[in-house]
Structure 1
Amino acid sequence: MASTRLTALDLLMPPAYTRLLLTFGRKGEDEVSSIDTILREGLSRLVETVPVLKGEVFTTGQRAGEVAVQPRTDIKNPPLFQVRDYTLKDGKPMKSYLELYARDMPMTELDGEDLAPLPTFLSNPAPVFAAQANFIAGGLILCACFHHSVFDGPGAGVILKVWSECCNFLQNPADGPKLLSPVATDRNVLLESGKPSTSLDILAGYEITTPSKDSTTEEQSAPTVAVTEMTTATFTIQNETLQRLKVDVNTYLSQRGKNEWVSTNDILCAGLWRAITKARLESPDAHFGTTSRVGMAVNGRSRMQPPLSDEYVGNVNIYTATEIDMPPLFSDATESLAEIAVAIRRSVLSVNDEYIRHLIHKVNQLPDLSLITPSFKVWGNDLAITTWREMGICDLDWGSGICGGKVDFVRIPSARFHGLCVVLPRTSHKPDAVEVLMGLKTESMERLKGDASFKNFASFQSERGSLKAGEGSTFHPALSILLPLWAWPDASWQNVYTAISSSPSTTWHIVINPNSGPGTTGSAPSAQVYTDGVAKLNTYANALTYGYVKTGKAGRAQADVHAEVDTYASWATHVPENISIAGIFFDEVSSMWDAQADASKIQYYTDVANYARQKPGLAGHVAFNPGTLGPEQLFDVADFMVEFENAVGEWHGADTIATFPQARLGKSAVWVYNSAPETDVAGAVAVMQGKGLGAPTGCYKTFDAGNLKTLTDAVGGGQGQGQGGAAASPGTAGTAGNVTQCAAVME
């Protein structure tokens, strides 16, 4: 490839990598070589269309800060594509895909040092692109790293789209190859397209200084903030919440004769800006002032005249900044939200063809690219928001040979950063919700999580905690709760809703049982109260629903078991309520001793588990309940297994846990029932946590509100708080992981 000159808009980008993790669930363990081959050959076809991918970014020396792309010269950098197989016995232990899937693929468990071929920052010469396929038990995590000086977010999305199409073509040649048009990679369209504006005095998203101006004043210099004081967390915001607020604001504007409107994204950014500002400015070292700014990246492709192709892969992300006075940011009133959102809308609309061409002209005239910087900061009162929401990555079809072809989640390798919000790509698992990753000082993050108004806006999902000097990076996640909701929907279900909503950092595995199974074969529950109840459970981002199926100690005909699995799966097509089920809870499972006497029982449960996991309409989760020690082989095909179901008098804490397979504690759960009010729930939970089990005890009266609160508080998820608080990491107990360290409840 020849050297490639980068445009003014490319040169404005930070010299960092956009690192994306695409996760796929695998049905078997024998696909590694074939998946590797398809990905490599697909990438080779992609590079033929986009040869810049095999280049490296280098410093030209023509002016300070200017870079371009040339063929790779640094053999020390990683190859274009590499594989790491964590399923090998001598490889680094990694949590299984099912464990990560059940917790919505938390970024706390996705370490960039293991999963990414490149760090976030790398000195020149730096590869334009590198990818790494990571195979873990039951899954594939594909990491793609894009140099931001060459691709913006939409451009990276286009590259992934074409790569997936190339992989699909290799498996289905009859479909014909789908390649990019030449305009997608032609940077000449922007190289000399600058034009000075006669009406624009400033570019709101940028500050331009001159060499003689002192740019080291206290106002422009970032405060010294140690990385160890940062916390990066993920929050979920329901579309229903955003739509309701948008209607409220637009109605407010209309009623007051305002000829303005706001979008859903304006509401999202306004809500984040308001909540973060309130949380930050109570911090002792916050930069107090009279105004605050939020910076945003606006996709300029459609805003130019003529518009650029949506497939153009270079940078056309244009910064804009919105500045407002502080008072609206401290008010929860609709009027204040409207003021903030309208200000954001005006800033977004200011990015037009004139703005972009004037920006290009200014950059091309600069003798030193360090003289132009964003006008917003990410400390003090300011923050930045970037959105990848509509990248469409989970809509891509990589072909059935790549783990079925569909991406489950898009994530970012674990990182800590301050004052930046990233709206993550839409996933098929949460089509009606928005996931936002944000980084703040730890004390500000804790204040944000505890803010009552913010809890009505967003729910906490997971976080990467801060480190203190000398500590390792072991993360103690919130434990899960396994709840047998075997009751008709009434006030008891309301108590469960309250408990789930009050503990957003805790994952709830809810087992429902309409009638010793799903009820009428092939049909949804006939009682509206039941469908309403299940639909309500499905509105909570931290809850997974399981359908109850009995197996009769492997004596029930598999055809009958399959029929009930099929019935639960059919609920996914029910309308108008969303009563889809995430997985199957198999009850009356054979014990370890039963299986020793009859080895065919292992195959029976392996077959029904695989049937449920692969069934369309379900989300692949499987749980077993032998109620005592179960066949250890079944841990390989289950998310978790209930190893103890008995009265509190039979529960002997650490002595009971000692009878469990110690290498499987992370997938073990317990149900302890008939406990008394004076039962030391917190003490029992502490023992289970300390052993790496994480299955708290606690209900002396089924689904009683106070009883459930005692349980959630013991787990550490009450009031939206808690990160597990375990004395030892589950990994230290030799477990497979802690996705399904399922907390038991007392019936």
Structure 2
Amino acid sequence: MKNGKFTPFVLSPFDHVFPPDLYAMTALYFQMEAPSEAIFDLQRGLSRLGELIPFLSGEVVPANSPYKTNAMEVRLASRNDDVSLVRVKHYPKYGLPGTPSTIEGEIARRVGCTGDESARRLVSEFEQPAVPAPVFRAQINILANGLVLCLVVNHMVIDGKGNDVLLNLLAQCCRSPTDTSWSTSIATQGVTRRYLHDLGRSGGVPSIPSNLPSSLGLSTPPEEREQKFDRGEGLAPDASSASYNLLFSDSRIQLLKSRCNTRLSELLQVLAKEEGEGKGEKTRFVSSNDILTTLLWICITRVQQQQASSTLGVAVNSRKRFPKALPDDYLGNAVAYTDCTLSISELRCLETWEKQQQEQSLYEQNPQSSTIIDDGPTIELLTRLAYRIRCSITKIDDISLGRLTADYFHTPDWSQILLQRCDILVSSLRDWNTYGLDFGPQLQGIQGLEFLPASSAPGECIVKPAQKDANGEAVWEVMITLQPAQMEQMRQLPLLQWPLEYDIPVEFYCSL
């Protein structure tokens, strides 16, 4: 993968939600008998990817433009001659870990490698945290029975949906490197960034020309306005935390959704008024994602340090919600965060139901198989919180995003755009089509995917791409980062046990 040539560009106000040295690390697992034979396909695909998106070889640095304090830009790397963007490592004593489609019956007999030390073996080495910060690094890891491709992407430059676009483009580059039609273009990236700058500078409602240049040309400092900060992202990983994969039954999540929507129809007028929905009641349903997020919110709140309230941030891909919709293939940050709060006193209704479940489990061999949740107060609690989440997502619309972009843009010091810490953060990547990607005849499709916990903060939950379990049933897989003692306590909660199929520490490979 060669270092590409591109025109330096200032990152958008939304990109400054993240610090310049925060990375999203994704590991893709390919199973094959002769993994060394597929190295060339990956290297060729990565090289083609770099040609199509040349700023992947760049680095994030303070911008030269003086119009804002601490604005950041992407420019050509200053150490092109001695930096390899793609590295290859061999680990013949390790094999691929289990996945939801293969894991049944394997847990007891394999030795999984977990934790930050194991994860670091898969990641290309570079100085972190540090600025200049690279935009992209890749490492191809050769195991005894397959490949692990670990991609490190700078979160200030590319968001979750952008990562999905990048993976789709990489699959196309591996499968058909000589194609002339591609799923995104460098021109699209420049036009969209310029739109976000203009949207913010004009106060949220700009007049957009049809032929925007790809370079940023802001010169006159705009009038400053007071900045309102929202609670959102927790940024700093914690070395004492651990990450776990939890697998939830889709059929049970669907059952809860059905019961909550039935209860919502009875409570709609009251709840809509509480959430400020007004007479129109724009929101009349809760989704499966809302239900799962509610379960995670309640259960993690129960085991975290007790406070009077708990805050929840939900990452929302807002590309289609801006005054002018952003392209689906835009790589940069276009995420807004909900700001939900629950009072610990709201959870008191669970005490009676949990006591009943604990007593019932004393004489049931498999309490997870019992037919509930049908407790009235518990269903109402789930309905209220799921509706609260849904309303907060609905309120992220063209008007609020225009105002938020203006607030970000007119912040005097762009390093202050960083969103504040919340207690629990949920990001859903379930719509990624990663398991449907075709990387060509040698690599084919991926067997598994992991997000390295070095990039996760305590209380962070990542809903992973949709897949099926060993029986071919749809499941929800969530990576949760918590203190080990908190995870042990949480797995004992009846509310979590009911839809949970299993939970294990995140495994990056296994010893042979």
Cα distance, 1:197–1:292 mapped onto 2, change above 3 Å:
farther
Q: Which of 242, 256, 262 lines up with 1:251 in the alignment?
A: 262
User: Does the alignment pair 1:397 with 2:438?
Assistant: yes
Is the contact made by 1:115 and 1:132 (CA closer than 8 Å) also made in structure 2? yes
Is the contact made by 2:157 and 2:333 (CA closer than 8 Å) also made in structure 1? yes
Q: Deviations along 1:607-659, whole A, 9 cap, x unmatched? A: xxxxxxxxxxxxxxxxxxxxxxxxxxxxxxxxxxxxxxxxxxxxxxxxxxxxx
Larger radius of gyration: 1
Secondary structure of the equivalent of 2:328? Answer: coil
Secondary structure of the equivalent of 1:313? Answer: coil
User: Does the alignment pair 1:265 with 2:295?
Assistant: no
- Partner AA of 1:190 in structure 2: L
Is the contact made by 2:310 and 2:342 (CA closer than 8 Å) also made in structure 1? yes
The residue that corresponds to 2:511 in the other structure is 737
The residue that corresponds to 2:328 in the other structure is 310
Cα distance, 1:451–1:434 mapped onto 2, change above 3 Å:
same
Q: Which of 187, 196, 213 lines up with 2:203 in the alignment?
A: 196
The residue that corresponds to 2:239 in the other structure is 227
Secondary structure of the equivalent of 2:45? Answer: helix
The residue that corresponds to 2:311 in the other structure is 293
Rounded Cα–Cα distance in structure 1 between residues aligned with 2:457 and 2:150 = 20
Instruction: Quote how far apart the aligned CAs of 1:7 are.
Output: 0.5
TM-score (norm 2): 0.76
The residue that corresponds to 1:655 in the other structure is none
Matching of residues 113-132 of structure 1 within 5 Å: 113-118=120-125, 121-132=128-139
Rounded Cα–Cα distance in structure 1 between residues aligned with 2:434 and 2:184 = 17
User: Does the alignment pair 1:4 with 2:43?
Assistant: no
The residue that corresponds to 1:501 in the other structure is none
Is the contact made by 1:55 and 1:70 (CA closer than 8 Å) also made in structure 2? yes
Instruction: Quote how far apart the aligned CAs of 1:287 are.
Output: 4.6
Instruction: Quote how far apart the aligned CAs of 1:192 are.
Output: 1.4
Q: Gaps (5+ residues) in structure 2?
A: 1-5, 206-225, 270-280, 351-377
Is the contact made by 2:307 and 2:344 (CA closer than 8 Å) also made in structure 1? no
Is the contact made by 2:49 and 2:170 (CA closer than 8 Å) also made in structure 1? yes
Rounded Cα–Cα distance in structure 2 between residues aligned with 1:226 and 1:178 = 39
Cα distance, 1:123–1:76 mapped onto 2, change above 3 Å:
farther
Cα distance, 1:132–1:237 mapped onto 2, change above 3 Å:
same
Instruction: Quote how far apart the aligned CAs of 1:371 are.
Output: 3.0
Q: Deviations along 1:114-147, whole A, 9 cap, x unmatched? A: 1011579431111101111111011111111110
Q: Deviations along 1:576-609, whole A, 9 cap, x unmatched? A: xxxxxxxxxxxxxxxxxxxxxxxxxxxxxxxxxx
Secondary structure of the equivalent of 2:79? Answer: coil
Q: Deviations along 1:230-255, whole A, 9 cap, x unmatched? A: 23222111111111111001000113
Matching of residues 20-419 of structure 1 within 5 Å: 20-26=26-32, 28-29=33-34, 31-32=35-36, 34-60=37-63, 62=66, 63-74=68-79, 78-87=83-92, 93-94=93-94, 96-97=95-96, 102=103, 108=114, 111-118=118-125, 121-170=128-177, 177-181=181-185, 182-184=187-189, 186=191, 187-194=193-200, 195-196=202-203, 205-206=230-231, 227-228=239-240, 230-258=241-269, 260-280=284-304, 286-289=305-308, 291-332=309-350, 333-377=378-422, 382-402=423-443, 405-415=444-454, 417-419=457-459
Stretch moving more, 98-107 or 414-423: 98-107
Secondary structure of the equivalent of 2:303? Answer: helix
Cα distance, 1:329–1:78 mapped onto 2, change above 3 Å:
farther
Cα distance, 1:269–1:98 mapped onto 2, change above 3 Å:
closer
- Partner AA of 1:97 in structure 2: L
Q: Deviations along 1:95-129, whole A, 9 cap, x unmatched? A: x2376764589672782211011579431111101
Cα distance, 1:407–1:298 mapped onto 2, change above 3 Å:
same
The residue that corresponds to 1:449 in the other structure is 491
Is the contact made by 2:242 and 2:484 (CA closer than 8 Å) also made in structure 1? yes
Secondary structure of the equivalent of 1:327? Answer: helix
Is the contact made by 2:435 and 2:446 (CA closer than 8 Å) also made in structure 1? yes
More RCO (CA 8 Å, sep 6+): 2
Rounded Cα–Cα distance in structure 2 between residues aligned with 1:6 and 1:85 = 36
Stretch moving more, 240-249 or 423-432: 423-432
Rounded Cα–Cα distance in structure 2 between residues aligned with 1:179 and 1:85 = 32
Is the contact made by 2:238 and 2:458 (CA closer than 8 Å) also made in structure 1? no
Q: Gaps (5+ residues) in structure 1?
A: 88-92, 208-220, 281-285, 465-474, 478-730, 739-747
- Partner AA of 1:51 in structure 2: P
- Partner AA of 2:342 in structure 1: I
- Partner AA of 1:339 in structure 2: R
Q: Deviations along 1:678-700, whole A, 9 cap, x unmatched? A: xxxxxxxxxxxxxxxxxxxxxxx
Q: Which of 425, 437, 442 lines up with 2:465 in the alignment?
A: 425
Rounded Cα–Cα distance in structure 1 between residues aligned with 2:30 and 2:408 = 41
Q: Deviations along 1:173-232, whole A, 9 cap, x unmatched? A: 6x764342432553222221125379xx9968349xxxxxxxxxxxxx99x99733x232
Rounded Cα–Cα distance in structure 2 between residues aligned with 1:77 and 1:387 = 37
Over aligned residue pairs, what C-alpha RMSD do you find? 3.2
Cα distance, 1:367–1:454 mapped onto 2, change above 3 Å:
same
Stretch moving more, 182-191 or 445-454: 182-191
Cα distance, 1:441–1:193 mapped onto 2, change above 3 Å:
same
Is the contact made by 1:49 and 1:179 (CA closer than 8 Å) also made in structure 2? no
Secondary structure of the equivalent of 1:302? Answer: coil
- Partner AA of 1:42 in structure 2: G
TM-score (norm 1): 0.53
Q: How many residues align?
A: 430
Is the contact made by 1:234 and 1:435 (CA closer than 8 Å) also made in structure 2? yes
Q: Deviations along 1:247-298, whole A, 9 cap, x unmatched? A: 0010001134545211111111111001111122xxxxx2522x22101111
Secondary structure of the equivalent of 2:176? Answer: helix
Rounded Cα–Cα distance in structure 1 between residues aligned with 2:318 and 2:341 = 21
Secondary structure of the equivalent of 2:326? Answer: coil
